[in-house]
Structure 1
């Protein structure tokens, strides 16, 4: 199944990354009245010998399909329309003659522009940049896969990385996109060994090392640890190195401490908190004062061995200690972590509904039957995948579920 799916994904990638081409238009013949107008009022200053403003009109063909030529004719149009040409000191054409030329130029410019839009669209067809590709994987398959570091950095045009001119497609880049597609398919289809269910329950008072006591306070009466925002704060969940990348359901029981009855806010980060490690913000949360509340969220952990870290709002001066500090704090009772989604490949299995069908209408009732259909009809499936750019027709209709163990 993997080989078939990967072959199909490669077809989809090539479709998704293909660049569009424009259709040429035949050059429009110039009316004799327009040619006579230009000879009388324009060629004196814009011929081969003079070329004022670096504009030569005696050799400018009426090929409005060529962008550079159309741009020159557009300049002529606006100069005439604003009565900036001919210059005020030169003999002026009649309003009728001027309007006749403007009508012809405007009509030809609009026709050419409309033809370009029909053939190319208002925005040129281009490949996805890295961020768009990663977001598309998430939208199609419902999984979080970090492909940003796998894919080469995108080029830029005038500071933008969504412009077709900057998004080149070299053989090396295509190969990297295919590797990213393989990774996405492996994750979505659950290829590889399935780790056991993971459930961790951390009591806050058991996670504080003695050397961290400078910026925390243990409350023995209700088994809570008060965290203060300090560079020495033990808010990193060191006893939880993530066994695999993926999405983890996190539940934190906490309350405000010394907040004068006001809610206490905190933010949660995930990542590698060693020097030089990469971290990211998961979100901002708040809990009421003096009464524990449970905050539940999903944290996307991208690396094996990564962990979580809590930062309460407020700041403890370095000369203070947690035992005597009277400022804002966050009292944490416990933290629970459970693997929650399929991209961690922990305690997860893809399931299908009775009504699930392939693109051609054939139904399947379990994953084994789906695999048989894929292997028996690779060409039919490939056509459906190419139309959807990736295996959306197959995998997007496949349901994934997790067991509730909280």
Structure 2
């Protein structure tokens, strides 16, 4: 790692620490005192206080957590070199090295002094995602029962921060409703469902459609209904065209074709989903008349109603007439169906012209559905609640044992007999109200699911050192990497008192990251840290960016998730986040980026020719470039704030009140540079814009959807107000200057300068992981362990996996 400390940051920091002289003298080296007098007092002393700041009125670094935190935040801002002005007197390199050593020693001393002053247990409840995954893993139940929960609050970028997770009466009401749904689904009261296996074809689907149409016509004829003259004319015209108002799939040998996008064959008429659970879907497909161009088959599941957006299972790319068989294991709710849709080709044609079409099509052969797939009976959810007992034959004398077994599972730790007895008493009170044994048990389990022991992360201290206990550690680790409750190996290690051993923790991290459930961590952490979970909220203007569609949007998100997944899997150095000689691409995204030689819809690692492309790292990924745009234009301010906050961990101050936002004129009348200069001319804006703007200007060659541009896209009005003409606008200028680092002419030069601040990147990634893992904000007292963590990772040249291992094994992870 290249570690740099800009001279300006050193000067500004020393200006701050000089305040300690007046209130509580420190053992400051005389040479450092001379340094302060020479380079700080002139602008921040008794006679002059630039930015309303003077060095002789500050408290010492370790006086209180608030003071120390303020110092750290000031250092974060100044570390990028925005002050002092470059025209001011500058110290020599030797002077600089001497004061750097003193600053680092003071930071360590302050952290030691404040140790223990921050570390209150943050009482935080399960957020919506954690609740859903916890109940799914406990009871095997999936559904939309968390959709009605009030939105979780967000603090410091994450929705699992305890400071933002309040519990309202509305929230508790939703929990009770969700419990009813979960228990109704999880407790088996009927016989084991029969697993069915059905085979059919698109040809048979078409035959069934023909039969439906014939029956409908026969019913009309038998009823004696006589159509009006207008309706008769319409029917005759429809028959002449072959358009009978129903799906039409022309035959193709033994198979049948999907020719237009609106005809979407499904499993509805051949396989009825009656029980919620896992099902297997298989289909064989191939391309027809595609002229060498790939055609895409999208496979979804849902209820098939117009008001519902179906869930995408996969998008399969078909390139030739070789049959391709695909198979998926999907969780379906009752009355759901699996549906197929051709994404390319013509959107709509009347029936007769469908048969005559010579455009690209997809041939569908054999289709197979099987389910529900049951590994055991009763299933795991029932067993976690009642064991293998018959729910219809529960006995009162069994209930103490049932609840004693259930309570530790729900509450994620050993439960005192007195607590179990409270729920036994609750059950008995329900029985006294004439509830059946099953209904009384459901009522009791519902109360347990609404208990703070279930809804909250309980993390008691276990020793004078203040570390959380073994079960809390298992809970924290599991909700960090799986977003759900601990499994049996974690609980067993906690019970044996072995989980807190650093080597044991590191091994558990490796085991858990290899589990498919770690995908939950990846998506949730990456989505919130980098804000790509917001992608799609601001849809690009269709007139300016007609190439943008749902498939490209999905690819954008998957690229970033795949990129971080690859870094995690191979423990690649964190500098790859700034620049890399590889990317994770599929053909759609590669085409969007102008990178040749990538075929197929599957994402894979692609080596980049860095002389031919600017791609590589996060800043050149379409997802990042899209979420920092507004759908029509790009904003250097928004993008600059993202780089500082999400990548470097040095957030800018919020804008002062009554200062208007920049609104670029996409007609090309005003350049963004001119508008930013106007803001820099406003005194209260200048300091922040000098810090923010260069980091956004460097990305101006990337448009709203992440494509490269040399000129802005603009719209020219036409006679049709709904169809403006897209034209080439002004040339893009991305040159600027980073304070104390130098000028850059383009994005490549900017990225090279950014790599010199790899220390800021590593520290920020560590902070983001720690905030997410601990579910709380970090204080100054956490800075020492955090610095040790970063140093350990840096010394090993490790990456994201090493950082997660060392975080979990660190003192910081075991603190309240």
2:282 aligned with 1:247: no
> Alpha-carbon deviations, 1:155-199, whole Å to 9, x = none?
4468x4447388432334763784587479638854555673353
Report the alpha carbon displacement of residue 149 of structure 1 after superposing the two structures with TM.
Answer: 0.7
User: CA 1:29/1:101 → structure 2, altered by over 3 Å: closer, same or farther?
Assistant: farther
> How many pairs are equivalent?
347
2:330 aligned with 1:309: no
User: CA 1:120/1:165 → structure 2, altered by over 3 Å: closer, same or farther?
Assistant: same
Report the alpha carbon displacement of residue 31 of structure 1 after superposing the two structures with TM.
Answer: 1.4
Match of 2:308 among 277, 287, 301: 277
Match of 1:196 among 181, 185, 193: 193
Which secondary structure does the structure 2 equivalent of 1:58 belong to? Answer: helix
Q: So what's the TM-score if we normalise by structure 2?
A: 0.34
The 8 Å contact of residues 295 and 344 in structure 2, kept in 1 or not, is answered as no
Report the alpha carbon displacement of residue 60 of structure 1 after superposing the two structures with TM.
Answer: 0.9
Write the mapping of 1:170-189 to structure 2, written as runs, cut at 5 A: 170-172=167-169, 175=172, 178-179=175-176, 182=179, 186=183, 189=186
Q: Which runs of 5+ in 1 are unaligned?
A: 1-26, 359-365, 398-406
> Alpha-carbon deviations, 1:302-326, whole Å to 9, x = none?
5x43322211354235366232222
Report the alpha carbon displacement of residue 46 of structure 1 after superposing the two structures with TM.
Answer: 3.4
Aligned to 2:107: 109
Q: Hey, what's the Cα distance between the residues in 2 that align with 1:76 and 1:312?
A: 51
The 8 Å contact of residues 61 and 110 in structure 2, kept in 1 or not, is answered as no
2:388 aligned with 1:367: yes
> Alpha-carbon deviations, 1:101-127, whole Å to 9, x = none?
654432222344578899879xx9976
2:165 aligned with 1:168: yes
Report which stretch shifted further, 193-202 or 145-154. Answer: 193-202
Q: Hey, what's the Cα distance between the residues in 1 that align with 2:486 and 2:93?
A: 63
Instruction: Please provide the CA RMSD for this pair.
Output: 5.4
The 8 Å contact of residues 155 and 163 in structure 2, kept in 1 or not, is answered as yes
Q: Hey, what's the Cα distance between the residues in 1 that align with 2:78 and 2:323?
A: 72
User: CA 1:83/1:315 → structure 2, altered by over 3 Å: closer, same or farther?
Assistant: closer
The 8 Å contact of residues 251 and 336 in structure 1, kept in 2 or not, is answered as yes
Aligned to 2:256: 225
Which secondary structure does the structure 2 equivalent of 1:349 belong to? Answer: coil
> Alpha-carbon deviations, 1:237-281, whole Å to 9, x = none?
443564344332223344544457998641211113322223111
Write the mapping of 1:335-354 to structure 2, written as runs, cut at 5 A: 335-341=367-373, 349-350=378-379
Report the alpha carbon displacement of residue 62 of structure 1 after superposing the two structures with TM.
Answer: 0.9
Write the mapping of 1:376-391 to structure 2, written as runs, cut at 5 A: 376=404, 382=411, 383-384=413-414, 387=471, 389=475
Could you say which structure has the higher helix fraction? 2
Which secondary structure does the structure 2 equivalent of 1:88 belong to? Answer: coil
Which secondary structure does the structure 2 equivalent of 1:274 belong to? Answer: coil
Q: So what's the TM-score if we normalise by structure 1?
A: 0.61
Report the alpha carbon displacement of residue 55 of structure 1 after superposing the two structures with TM.
Answer: 1.4
> Alpha-carbon deviations, 1:127-167, whole Å to 9, x = none?
66534554565567665444541332234468x44473884
Could you say which structure has the higher strand fraction? 1
Q: Hey, what's the Cα distance between the residues in 1 that align with 2:260 and 2:115?
A: 56
Q: Hey, what's the Cα distance between the residues in 2 that align with 1:63 and 1:266?
A: 62
